[in-house]
Amino acid sequence: MDFFAESIYAYQSGTIKLMVFWCKWISGDFTLKVHSHIVWANHKELDLYDFAPADIPLVEKLKLVIG
């Protein structure tokens, strides 16, 4: 897997560091541990979703790279 980007964000409850990697889904089912649902979206649909503050820089970079 190749590294894509990281985002460090300070929430009131603490600071998180998100590390994003390029990957390829081959098969199998997803088991969600934190989120309640998963959505497959293309880069043109990303503005339809509300992202957490820590996610926004990563989404913006993804739109630049893919768009």
Report pLDDT for 48.
95
- pTM equals 0.82
Residues 21-59 have pLDDT tens digits of 999 999 999 999 988 899 999 889 999 999 999 999 999
Report pLDDT for 67.
75
Q: Of 20, 18, 38, 19, nearest to 30 (Cα)?
A: 38
Distance CA(47)–CA(41), nearest Å, equals 10
- Binned at pLDDT 50, 70 and 90, residue 7 comes out as very high
- pLDDT reading at 61 higher than 90: yes
Domain extents in the chain: 2-66
Q: How far is CA 22 from the centre of its chain?
A: 11
Q: What is the DSSP letter of 27?
A: S
